[in-house]
Amino acid sequence: MPLPYPRPDFVRSSLRWKTLDGPWDFIFDDDDVGMDRCWPRGLPDEVALKDRSAAVETSSQAQTITQNIAAGTQELIKDNTHVKSSTETVNRRRTIQVPYVYQCPASGINEREAHSVFWYSRTFLDIRTEEEKQQGLRVILRFGAVDYDARVWVNDFFIGRHGGGHVPFEWDVTPYLGKDSSEAHRLTLRIFDSSDSLHQPRGKQYWGAKPESIFYTPSSGIWQSVWLEVVPPTRIADSSNGTVLRSNDIEKGQLYCHVFLLNRPHQQECRVQVEASIGNVIVAEVSGQTSGSREAVDLILNMRLSEKELSQLPLSIREAGPLDNSRCWRNGLALWTPEHPLLYEVTIRLFDCQSAALLDEVTTQVGMRSINWSAGDGLWRLNDRPYFQALCLDQGYVPSTFMTLNDDAVRLDIELAKAMGFNGCRKHQKVENPVFYYWADKLGYLVWAEMANAYDFSREYAEAFDHEWVQAVKLAINHASVVTWTPINESWAYNSLKDSEEEQNHIRHLYSLTKDLDPTRSINDNCGWQHVCTDLTTFHDYSDVEELEKTCASLDLILAPKAGRDLFVGSAKHRPGAPVICTEFGGINIAPPKQRSSDRDWGYTTASDSEDLLRRFERMVKGIAAGGHCCGFVYTQLTDIEQEVNGLYTYDREEKLPAAKVKAAIDEAIDIFNRRVGSS
């Protein structure tokens, strides 16, 4: 079933688009012969295979890395290497359902064997009307995400290559389309996705033949939507291409707009207008003009409502955020919080100065909220109030589609988390698509945004990671829900971080790179331990109840080594007064003993039954809050995923514990924190 428009956070008023999700031709290219045999001109019915009986070697380093990450808590599968099947002598062209990866059931292929090279192909029509062609409108081909290296052709023309499996990319395909709108155009992709490279950012996608421990089945190829969109030649850029809306200045009540324009001829003077409204009440409207060759226009909007405007708000807004509630409104400014996610609608218009013609119009949403982590009192603040972040670890997998969640599934996961009392998530080892951020904004859900990591360091890795991380930040930068950036988890890829100046310097570089892009959010440089340059002191502790309670009651124990690693490395150290947050704990499963084996039923510790799990959960969350040092936590995890069965919900999103009881425990932990800091 096709997904809805993939960018609900950036919608053109005259939106003309066509999804390319659905059936595509697909073929594996295990001997990598497709380029030599000109497959961009058409995929073959089948291709003969060379001998495939040999195992793909998995390095001893890969096995060591797995063991180190698993921390010796469970025996790993022996000889867990990819072995090519010798029964097939050919690969045949077949049909795949895009945007689902070939490894998952929804793709229609559902094959788990490793294939590093494979091809997609389908046809499409020019979706422009004849009038739109005459007006010079363009056709943009957009990909939500393709893992990992994609080469793309339209007809026989190579249009580009994109490396990086987790962020969007696009090309203008207008030059490759003929004048005849009825002519079918062939779109072809060649994908390379290494099954075992440790230098490739891959997140939780495992390099072994069978997923184990905390690692999962790989997701190769197209895994987010593909679509065509008709756009004006000179147009407003989305956040990935440079438009930034900074909504953190609640003291002045101002929205700072950096509107970037694409493909504006230098001789064309344009005017940008930005209008903000809430509940159909227009709050502000400001215009600015382009200057010379500069491709951006900077504008400031006053987002406060007058008494008259407040009186005109519809009942739906006043019920969502009562006007007499200081957590919802401040001097006429609507505030965004997880409890009251008030949003402004922002419309950006682009006009030609000479003709006054409307060239482009885009609608998005912003939430006005501020974040402060540097007051020096150990607290993290939202809208100037101490705020306890009760987060869950959310990895965004579902059984039938893996990392590809449709609109309903995205919304459901947020609602399930909030039903248990969580006010946000640490989105772990996955760059989510804009649909997720859209719903996090609307439903009120804090997000720590994270990048999919690699597992071994090299200069080539660092260059690729930098490029993709920048794009991941740009993708989410305009969303109020996103409050913290986390480029690295647990030193993954940085196996010599303690002693390597090169690796430490790259962490410092990532911090500076992120801060240059966005100085308004906190940065968690290397989540869990071995911090190099960070705004937050985060630690991971999967100890059982008593040990965790003891640790959280002592700053010295919090700052002590975790899993055999120092909490800070090099010259770095905990900054007195920096917020301290336990960003992984729990990980408790309750699977029956008869289902346990060396490669299934993963959990850091095991509860005897659901009542035991609830008792442990209650003590842990209260112990973290009552210890006197932490201002938040991240519980592992929201749902089970494959063999990692330590979720509060099953993989099919069924409760393991009554949501109301989990929420009661979290609410009490938040109350403990609020009493400690004198907040209400």
Token reading at 173 = 């395909």
Pair 15, 85 in one domain: yes
Pair 108, 144 in one domain: yes
Task: Please spell the DSSP secondary structure of 108-157, one letter per residue.
Answer: T----S--SEEEEEEEE-----HHHHHTT-EEEEEES-EESEEEEEETTE
pLDDT digits (tens, 9 = 90+) for 536-591: 999 999 999 999 999 999 999 999 999 999 999 999 999 999 999 999 999 999 86
Q: What pLDDT was estimated at residue 53? A: 59
Q: What pLDDT was estimated at residue 1? A: 47
Pair 189, 278 in one domain: no
Where in the sequence is the domain holding 337, given as residue range(s)? 237-366
Domain ends where: 366, 387, 414? 366
- Ranges of residues in the chain whose predicted pLDDT is under 70: 1-3, 52-63, 70-75, 79, 83-86, 591-600, 680
Domain containing 286 — which CATH number? 2.60.40.10
Domain containing 19 — which CATH number? 2.60.120.260
Cis peptide before 206 (omega within 30 of 0): no
Q: Is residue 553, in this structure, part of any structural domain at all?
A: yes
Q: What pLDDT was estimated at residue 604? A: 84
Pair 527, 622 in one domain: yes
Domain ends where: 168, 196, 227? 227
Residue 341 CB neighbour total at 10 angstroms: 22
Pair 428, 351 in one domain: no
Nearest to 114 by CA among 174, 2, 197: 197
Q: Is residue 589, in this structure, part of any structural domain at all?
A: yes
Pair 127, 255 in one domain: no
Q: What pLDDT was estimated at residue 328? A: 98
Pair 289, 209 in one domain: no
Pair 168, 313 in one domain: no
Task: Please spell the DSSP secondary structure of 435-473, one letter per residue.
Answer: HHHHHHHHHT-EEEEE----SS--HHHHHHHHHHHHHHH
Q: Is residue 380, in this structure, part of any structural domain at all?
A: no
Q: Is residue 295, in this structure, part of any structural domain at all?
A: yes
Q: What pLDDT was estimated at residue 57? A: 55
Domain ends where: 227, 253, 270? 227
Measured on CA atoms in the order 190, 195, 197, 202, is the torsion positive or negative? Answer: positive
Pair 354, 438 in one domain: no
Pair 245, 222 in one domain: no
Q: Is residue 532, in this structure, part of any structural domain at all?
A: yes
Q: Is residue 446, in this structure, part of any structural domain at all?
A: yes
Pair 171, 311 in one domain: no
Q: What pLDDT was estimated at residue 73? A: 55
| Structural domain count, the chain | 3
Domain containing 608 — which CATH number? 3.20.20.80
Pair 424, 283 in one domain: no
Q: Is residue 371, in this structure, part of any structural domain at all?
A: no
Q: Is residue 592, in this structure, part of any structural domain at all?
A: yes
